[in-house]
Structure 1
Amino acid sequence: MAFINRVLEPPTYGWSDMSGNLAKPTPKQIFAEFFSRLNVFKNKKNWLSFLSWMMIVVLAPFLLLFIFKYFTFKLLLAAFFYSMIVMGTHGTIWHHRYCTHGAYQFSNKFWRFFTQNLTLKIIPEEIYAVSHHVHHALSDQPGDPYNAGGGFLYCFLADVNHQPINRNMSEADYAKCVNLMKHTGVNVNTYAQYQNWGTLANPTRTLISVALSWGFWFTAFYLMGGIGLACALFGAAGFWAVGVRTFNYEGHGKGEDKRRDGVDYNRNDMSINQLWPGIVAGEWHNNHHLFPKSARSGFKPYQVDGAWYYIKFMSVIGAVKSYNDSKKQFYQQYCNAQVVPIHEEPIIVIQEEVVVSA
């Protein structure tokens, strides 16, 4: 069995059935697995999954305070912008394009730290990045941790049921797992510590980093707009953290083939380009599956890509030293395009249309 097939902790209901097809658990099985893996009293190795959902629980009162005590339409607009655009785009910039795919490289550790902490720390890098490598290797196949064919709950609760790393890796496999994360700057456990805690992340360092992140941002929001703004944006962050768990179910057609000719060019899996995730977070998912290591996934003129704009800006000011941009390759391979360089701005000729690329 290849490393990518064994790096994640398998659920009790397994990845596949006796025929080799996706094992589709019942809602009862999914919830049983979920609560079992959250139980830190049963097994302390459940600590990271428990922490991931406890952060949402802790953020819920901020949302309620905003709704019932501090609500104004101005704060609602701020909360919408922060959750949908700021948190969504940052997730694409940091967790997706950098931590998982290494689509760009920072010029130094300061800019990496700066980008990492642009928003509240909510999603542990380990849970996202390692499992996302598996998602790309086994997309829509048994073993894909958020296979849309398993249903909504299969994807929504995947961060607990399917995404944690295997707790029984050999030292050699653990070293490979560490290698997947080394560029992120996340301090990881030694193999002996991993055997004790079952994670790459160290509990003490993780809790301190979350406390510092939340303390800094609550203070910053309070100074910018008082307790009302702080509650609105903290509540919005929690709202986003729940909503983002629905993305891969939607982004892979809810288990159906919803790919469209002329829109979704990747036909190796069920990923689709969606207008809303693309606009608010730069997540043109089918494009991303075509070129996963590209720092840009909004290739067509209408495909707004805020994550790419940030990465490009950071490159201009010297904070990013290199990046991969697959836009030219996309047009050449999938749009029958001929690229004719003029000065420093390439012109892309597609049939009889002329589009000047950014």
Structure 2
Amino acid sequence: MPLLDYILEEPSYGWKDTTGNLVKPTPGQILREFFSRLNIFKTKKNWLPFISWLTVVCLAPFLFLFIFKYFTWPRFAAAFVYSMIIMGTHGTIWHHRYCTHRAYKFRNNFWRFFTQNLTLKAIPEEIYALSHHVHHAKSDEPGDPYNANAGFLYCFLADVNHQPINRNLSEADYNRALVLMKHTGVNPNTYAQYLQWGSVANPWRTLAGIALNWGFWYLVFFLIGGHGLACALFGGAGVWAVGVRTFNYEGHGKGQDKRTEGVDYNRNDMSINQLWPGIVAGEWHNNHHLYPKSARSGFKPYQIDFAWYYIKFMSMVGAVSFYRDSKKQFYKDHHEPYVNTKKEKIISTN
């Protein structure tokens, strides 16, 4: 079997039934799975999903302090921009186009570290990258860790229920999984440590990285605008960390075919291009599913792509040594044939 068929820990309710169809668990089943996999007292191998949501919980007090103590409209505007645009774009730059798809390459480890820590750490690289490979291999099919056909809750809680690595890989398969992570800068566990912790990432290094990252950015925000600005931006990051968990449900039509002719050219799955995620985060999702390894997914003139602008700028200053850009291929293979076909239909009806 291909590694991506079993690289993720299968939930207790399974990916598919005996007939091969997608299992659509009830909300109760999803919630029981969620809390079971968060329980670090049950097994310490639950530490990474636990940390994934602990960061959200730890960001909540900053949001409350901002709302009830430090609220001003300028700080609200700053929090909105930081949450929606800066955090969103960074997620596309780092987790999506680099950690998963290797759409570009850094000149050296300094620029990788610089880009990795441009914003607050809120999502572990391992949780995102490994599962996203599976998402592309099985998009909208059983085994897709955030399959919109199974409903909102299935997608929203996927980082705990469906995205963690399989804890029972052989040493050979674990080493194959490491290949998918080696470029990210995550210092991996040995196989013996993986058997102990159930993860590629080491808990102590992960916690230290989060603490140093948060400490650095709180100091920067405080020096710029005091505790009020720091709480506003940390709270905004928490809003993004929750909101981003809703994206794949929306980005795949909420389980319905919402693709638009002349807008969504990929017909192999239900991914759609949406204006808001596209503009604020460069996430033109249908385009991305057409060319997942492209460092640009905003191909048309109106498709703003801040993530691409950052990657291109880093290339211009020498920080990025290589990138893939599939814009020309998109026009040649999809947009131009579509336009020509439309013209032919108009001519034939006249």
Matching of residue 283 in structure 1 with residue 283 in structure 2: yes
Tell me which amino acid in the other structure corresponds to 2:330: F
Query: What's the CA shift for 1:18?
Result: 1.5
Query: What's the CA shift for 1:22?
Result: 0.4
What's 2:347 paired with?
Answer: none
Query: What's the CA shift for 1:206?
Result: 0.4
Tell me which amino acid in the other structure corresponds to 2:146: Y
What's 1:179 paired with?
Answer: 179
Matching of residue 299 in structure 1 with residue 304 in structure 2: no
Matches within 5 A, 1:93-132: 93-132=93-132
What's 1:260 paired with?
Answer: 260
Tell me which amino acid in the other structure corresponds to 1:82: Y
Percentage of identical aligned residues: 75
Distance 2:149 2:212 in 1: 39
Normalized per residue, the structure richer in helix is 2
Deviations 1:199-238 (A, max 9, x none): 0000110010000000000000000100000000000001
What's 1:147 paired with?
Answer: 147
Distance 2:290 2:49 in 1: 30
Matches within 5 A, 1:15-34: 15-34=15-34
Matches within 5 A, 1:147-166: 147-166=147-166
What's 1:88 paired with?
Answer: 88
Distance 1:24 1:336 in 2: 39
What's 1:324 paired with?
Answer: 324
What's 1:219 paired with?
Answer: 219
Query: What's the CA shift for 1:185?
Result: 1.1
Distance 1:283 1:226 in 2: 32
Deviations 1:96-154 (A, max 9, x none): 00000000000111000000000001100000000000000000000000000010000
SS at match of 1:139: coil
Deviations 1:68-105 (A, max 9, x none): 10000000000000000000000000000000000000
What's 1:315 paired with?
Answer: 315
Aligned residues: 341
What's 1:56 paired with?
Answer: 56
SS at match of 2:321: strand
Tell me which amino acid in the other structure corresponds to 1:36: S
Matching of residue 8 in structure 1 with residue 14 in structure 2: no
Distance 2:160 2:275 in 1: 28
TM-score, structure 1 normalization: 0.94
Distance 1:172 1:266 in 2: 35
Tell me which amino acid in the other structure corresponds to 2:55: M
Distance 2:210 2:336 in 1: 48
SS at match of 2:70: coil
Query: What's the CA shift for 1:17?
Result: 1.0
SS at match of 2:279: helix
Matching of residue 191 in structure 1 with residue 191 in structure 2: yes
TM-score, structure 2 normalization: 0.96
Distance 1:335 1:120 in 2: 38
What's 1:201 paired with?
Answer: 201
SS at match of 2:180: helix
Distance 1:84 1:336 in 2: 33
SS at match of 2:105: strand
Normalized per residue, the structure richer in strand is 1
Distance 2:150 2:125 in 1: 24
SS at match of 2:141: coil
What's 1:336 paired with?
Answer: 336
What's 2:238 paired with?
Answer: 238
SS at match of 1:69: helix
Query: What's the CA shift for 1:2?
Result: 1.7
What's 1:342 paired with?
Answer: none
SS at match of 1:321: strand
Distance 1:305 1:60 in 2: 29
Tell me which amino acid in the other structure corresponds to 1:106: F
Large movers: runs of 4+ above 3 Å: none
Query: What's the CA shift for 1:306?
Result: 0.2
Tell me which amino acid in the other structure corresponds to 1:40: I
Query: What's the CA shift for 1:318?
Result: 0.3
- Flag structure 2 segments of 5+ consecutive residues without an equivalent: 344-350
Query: What's the CA shift for 1:46?
Result: 0.2
Quote the RMSD (CA, aligned, Å): 1.3
Distance 2:320 2:59 in 1: 32
- Flag structure 1 segments of 5+ consecutive residues without an equivalent: 338-349, 352-358
